[in-house]
Structure 1
Amino acid sequence: MSNTTGKRPVKVANCSGYHGDPAFEMYRQATLGDVDFITGDYLAEVNLANNAQAWRDGNHPGYEPTAWDGLQQTIDVIAEKGIRVVINGGALDPRALALKVEALVSEKNLNLRIAYLSGDDLYPVVGPNMPTTKDELRYLDSGNTSIVPPELTYAFLNNGQKPVPMVSAHAYLGARGIVEGLRRGADIVICGRVADASPVIAAAWFWHDWRETDYDKLAGSLIAGHLIECSAYVTGGNFAGFDNYDLERLIEPGFPITEIAADGTCVITKHSNTDGFINSDTVRCQFLYELQGNKYLNSDVSADISDIHVEDIGEDRVLVYGIRGSPPPPTTKCAVFYQGGYEAQLLLNATGYATSKKWDLLEMQLRHFIPEEAMDDLETLEFQRIGVPAENPRSQRDSTTYLRVYMTSRNQNSLVAVAKAMGNISLKHFSGFHASLDMRTAIPRPFLAYYPAIVNQSDINETINFIERSDKITSFKTGHPPSYEELGTRDSYDPPNPKLYTCDTKKINLGDIVLGRSGDKGGNLNVGLFPKDHPHWPWLRSYMTKDRMRQLVGDDWDDSFFIERVEFSHIEAVHFVIYGILGRGVSSSSRLDGFGKGFVDYIRDKTVEVPVEIL
């Protein structure tokens, strides 16, 4: 855990966790204290797809506006303080943003060199239509024989001979291209779809002049990047334990900084004059976000996170170490989106008495009045009951819940037929039926379907490009990793040597003694849990088996799902991946919580029997 080269740790500040984070956060990170790098993650998986067609048609600039706005606000400070910037806000067209930044730099006569990374956009290679067989573009989890892909994973194959148009296909790039740019003198590197942590890895890799085979060090920086990539998620945002803190501190949490040492260990911190807070709980929560077991993958390194340590070492300072690295896998993720057809929903209310029977009747009526040909066209028709009426309610709001009728089809007329069927029920409805006057959600709208694929890293032509003048660009190929290592079967196990308790128990909400975080990995959901207090860990790890998680999932469980479970003993956390529960995932998920963010608090709200002796 020491800086073995004698060079001080590199200070990397994050200014964005998605494209909606305010542009001024880049300026704040540059001016509220001293940092060496500013990185920013502007891309969720669906960002690129949302604008891809308009961009190809010449109706969208291709880059994320908040990235450009942040650079405009901050460029003078960047030049004055010698801060290097690496962001993925170039999105669909990093070249376009790089040209705008170069023009800004020239206008202000600043001594900054601008580069952009290309190679992630695989649409010209695998598009313009979706594959016609499963083998043409491999599904992300196709190598896991325990997994049954969600029902609509290959929906693009169910369209007869008519090709299904692809909208976008972007591979997740690593850090090596960015490092090449920094070594060649770039001050600002504009990227498209690099992996979320890649800019942070690149900053540390370049600063400490690591070799591409320094896998332990690279792996440590990968986790440092993972911890700060979601902006306020590690400084108090999306924090399960928020209710134990002064809410005033959480109105506008500051954004994080990581200090990465030469050995790959890091400290997570923030500028002292910002709100929010960083402690071992916020760091553990963010660490557990969007994992897929005890291996964390990047195009340059695989990180074994089994032995991660997280320690408070001062106010708003948390030390993270214990990460081991190995060569990366030969493949990388490729996010593919295609025209999924149309979606619509009906939001219908019921109040109080006999609500369950009311929804039974309404579903029977709708199914009766939907024409058979429309029913055959529906890919999805779900009747989701949201909420439970309060006992002895004090207001009608307390007594009212709603039904979400969610539907998709390649034929928008079939969705219109469902709305018409609702009209046919008219005054045949159940007692006390009512709905919002705003019925816009019932109007079919196009939606993008998501297909997570894998592609061979060796097939990607990654290039770093320097803007010499507006009419001259110098490009350099950045190569590929020197070696690869197949991932193999992911670890999954129930608690070895579980502790048995024979004393009396007490019923409490799991969240009274447990914190955690959940999120999505495509169609899969991950959730990690850890105790608020050390004495509860032996019970939690023994209690939270795979079967227990199935029980806690409750009526949402389906036998097509598959669970993996691992433990992180040094941070006292148990982690699960539930495969298939989010359907196709992202914009394609029919779940109300399609990104899985609320799942952890559903589990924490469960009543469990806890041994009295540990309370």
Structure 2
Amino acid sequence: MGGLVTGPVRIGNCSGFYGDRLSAMHEMLTGGDLDYLTGDYLAELTMLILARDRAKAPDRGYAKTFLKQLEECLGLALDRGVRIVANAGGLNPAGLADAVRALAQRLGLTVNVAHVEGDDLLPRADELGFGSVLAANAYLGAWGIVECLNAGADVVVTGRVTDASVIVGPAAAHHGWQRTDYDRLAGAIAAGHVIECGAQATGGNYAFFARDFPDLTALIRPGFPLAEIHPDGSSVITKHPGTGGAVTVDTVTAQLLYEITGARYANPDATLRVDTVELSSDGADRVRIGGVRGEPPPPTLKVSLNSIGGFRNEMTLVLTGLDIEAKAELVRRQLETSMTAKPAQMEWTLARTDHEDADTEETASALLRCVVRDPDPANVGRKFSSAAVELALSSYPGFHATSPPGDGQVYGVFRPAFVAAGDVPHVAVHADGSRVDIAPATQTLELAPVPPFALPEPLPFGETRRVPLGSIAGARSGDKGGSANVGVWVRTDPQWRWLVHALTVDKLRELLPETADLPVTRHVLPNLRAVNFVIDGILGEGVAYHARFDPQAKALGEWLRSRTVDIPVELSAEIPEELLA
């Protein structure tokens, strides 16, 4: 630990979210050589789920599936000398560490288990001005993990560290990096950001899947990724031989654009300059990440605040055939008039999934969705859903719903906060119970936008064809609290010189009318031939608020790709013929 290391450290991933493929840990341990195996189990919605779990029983609050994976794999990891780092501790890392020790004892294994804590700020919510919340967790960095690994831990479990930190920690410990090695740390952050979402780096959720995997066989079961991180912070993203999917410059680009903002991607240990990332092919299923520059981290840590917003319910009514708009208006007015106690919020959405002269009843039907919210569960329970069903024989012709009446459910609200890093404890707890305080960064840099990039000169394109944007552009989108990001990239320099001038904020608002009245910021990333849009407020008060049909904005990028635009004929060489018709 901390000595002269000349070769790369191999760090694999076996989980991108709480609920990911259970067998991935075993697959990664048996599929090839690894030094470390990591797992990301936490997301903003997961923290709410775990908080409700902990509220029912104080000894809960961690990702129980991690223990299921270890049941089969802990002995295997020890035999192979693979050390495990995971943020599965959620709201109770000490509890999970104890559970891992109990599991090891039951399996007859000797395991050094350490954990990292300090992120849970709920006991100080009033002091810090958070108000009444169910969970308040700061995003910690990697140095608590480094301390645990340097002290000999075989398994390190953490609470809410940043997603990349579970990869940065092993890299920093293995190579003996210092806290001011910002370029190296930023390189590991880039690699960590690519592999922390599991199979999204190997072909999962990949925009060009139909073109790059035409028979789909390779995508039936994509392998999980690993990063070979070198002492200088550069890395190669790859996967175990013989596993499904693929690692290409495009799959890595897609993941780099996932849930980021602009050219600066802040982490507690360093700020990654995304605009410096250079990708290149290093052979089959190998992509090199180089050129990465880092800066000191910001002086504050982000805090995830989750609270109960109230109660919600919904009914989806099916409208078939003719007069769809009139049918929707009739039932809307009937339901709103019939309810004696109207919910505080009542939202109607009509999805015109119907087709003219359809040859099946399903394709002749549209969906009318009504979502209600209220602090009082009675106002969104059976009073609402039964009132909708009671209209069955007195409303539009063909009335039916997709579900029977049901009770309302609790919904959550997410909001971010920021606190000075020095106000957040960061503690490494070793297997013997000894505790080591991890000091905050001594050198920081306020997060600020980078100066605007000089855009390339537009090419003098001639004739255009109206085709889907996705015929040449890939996209990846996701949630960031109540906001969403949509990263869009192209594969060639001529395509880039068209995209950067064509896909402006105004054009995005035109193509995605839901964004017309929302704040939208565009960030330009020339090295990736990409633009990234941050759309504030499109998800309301977070994923659990269910503000829209796609509450996590995972398909927002695919909607954008489906919209038609005028693309120069010169750029259409790679466009499938069916899209040019």
TM-score tier (shorter): over 0.9
Residue-by-residue CA offset, 1:216-264 (whole Å, 9 max, x unaligned): 1101100110000011111111111111213121111110000111111
Where does 1:454-603 land on structure 2 (aligned, <5 Å)? 454-468=418-432, 473-488=433-448, 490-491=449-450, 496=455, 499=458, 501=460, 503-554=462-513, 556-559=514-517, 561-603=518-560
Deviation at 1:369, TM superposition (A): 2.8
Residue 403 of structure 1 is matched in structure 2 by 368
Which consecutive unaligned segments of at least 5 residues does structure 1 have?
Answer: 138-163
Which consecutive unaligned segments of at least 5 residues does structure 2 have?
Answer: 573-581
Amino acid at match of 2:569: V
Residue 60 of structure 2 is matched in structure 1 by 61
1:54–1:60 contact (8 Å) kept in structure 2: no
Residue 244 of structure 2 is matched in structure 1 by 275
Residue-by-residue CA offset, 1:328-378 (whole Å, 9 max, x unaligned): 11111211111211000010011122212222332233333333xx33x51
Residue 148 of structure 1 is matched in structure 2 by none
Residue 235 of structure 2 is matched in structure 1 by 266
Where does 1:95-494 land on structure 2 (aligned, <5 Å)? 95-106=94-105, 110-126=109-125, 136-137=129-130, 165-244=132-211, 245=213, 246-371=215-340, 374-375=341-342, 377-378=343-344, 380-416=345-381, 417-423=383-389, 425-436=391-402, 438-440=403-405, 442-468=406-432, 473-488=433-448, 490-491=449-450
Inter-partner Cα distance in structure 2 for 1:447 and 1:191: 26
Residue 143 of structure 1 is matched in structure 2 by none
1:8–1:261 contact (8 Å) kept in structure 2: yes
Residue-by-residue CA offset, 1:561-608 (whole Å, 9 max, x unaligned): 111112221221111111111111111132111111100110111011
TM-score of the superposed pair, with normalisation by structure 1: 0.88
Cα distance change on mapping 1:321 and 1:5 into 2, 3 Å: farther
Inter-partner Cα distance in structure 2 for 1:392 and 1:493: 51
Residue 158 of structure 1 is matched in structure 2 by none
Deviation at 1:431, TM superposition (A): 3.1
Cα distance change on mapping 1:100 and 1:368 into 2, 3 Å: closer
Residue-by-residue CA offset, 1:506-556 (whole Å, 9 max, x unaligned): 1111111111101111111101111244432211111011111111112x1
2:119–2:424 contact (8 Å) kept in structure 1: yes
Amino acid at match of 2:118: G
Amino acid at match of 2:446: E
Deviation at 1:33, TM superposition (A): 0.9
Amino acid at match of 2:500: R
**Identity of matched residues, %:** 36
TM-score of the superposed pair, with normalisation by structure 2: 0.93
Inter-partner Cα distance in structure 2 for 1:15 and 1:394: 44
Deviation at 1:205, TM superposition (A): 0.7
Which deviates more, 339-348 or 71-80?
71-80
Residue-by-residue CA offset, 1:308-335 (whole Å, 9 max, x unaligned): 2111111100011222111111111211
2:87–2:158 contact (8 Å) kept in structure 1: yes
Residue 46 of structure 1 is matched in structure 2 by 45
Cα distance change on mapping 1:47 and 1:532 into 2, 3 Å: same
RMSD: 2.2
Inter-partner Cα distance in structure 2 for 1:112 and 1:544: 53
Cα distance change on mapping 1:537 and 1:344 into 2, 3 Å: same
2:249–2:281 contact (8 Å) kept in structure 1: yes
Where does 1:22-33 land on structure 2 (aligned, <5 Å)? 22-33=21-32
1:495–1:541 contact (8 Å) kept in structure 2: no
Residue-by-residue CA offset, 1:45-73 (whole Å, 9 max, x unaligned): 12232232442443653321221122221
SS of 1:282's equivalent in the other structure is helix
Inter-partner Cα distance in structure 2 for 1:256 and 1:287: 14
Residue 156 of structure 1 is matched in structure 2 by none
Inter-partner Cα distance in structure 2 for 1:427 and 1:61: 47
SS of 2:79's equivalent in the other structure is helix
Residue 18 of structure 1 is matched in structure 2 by 17
Amino acid at match of 1:136: G
Count matched residues: 567
1:494–1:565 contact (8 Å) kept in structure 2: no
Amino acid at match of 1:546: V
1:48–1:91 contact (8 Å) kept in structure 2: yes
Residue-by-residue CA offset, 1:280-300 (whole Å, 9 max, x unaligned): 111111111101111111111
2:515–2:535 contact (8 Å) kept in structure 1: no
Amino acid at match of 1:517: R
1:236–1:278 contact (8 Å) kept in structure 2: yes
1:180–1:464 contact (8 Å) kept in structure 2: yes
2:509–2:515 contact (8 Å) kept in structure 1: yes
Cα distance change on mapping 1:13 and 1:497 into 2, 3 Å: closer
Amino acid at match of 2:519: F
Amino acid at match of 1:434: H
1:513–1:533 contact (8 Å) kept in structure 2: no
Inter-partner Cα distance in structure 1 for 2:76 and 2:98: 19
Deviation at 1:91, TM superposition (A): 1.5
Inter-partner Cα distance in structure 2 for 1:195 and 1:73: 27
Amino acid at match of 1:307: T
Amino acid at match of 2:285: D
Residue 578 of structure 2 is matched in structure 1 by none
Residue-by-residue CA offset, 1:475-495 (whole Å, 9 max, x unaligned): 11111112221113x358698
Inter-partner Cα distance in structure 1 for 2:133 and 2:56: 14
Deviation at 1:42, TM superposition (A): 0.9
Where does 1:78-97 land on structure 2 (aligned, <5 Å)? 78-97=77-96
2:415–2:482 contact (8 Å) kept in structure 1: no
Amino acid at match of 2:364: S
2:89–2:95 contact (8 Å) kept in structure 1: yes
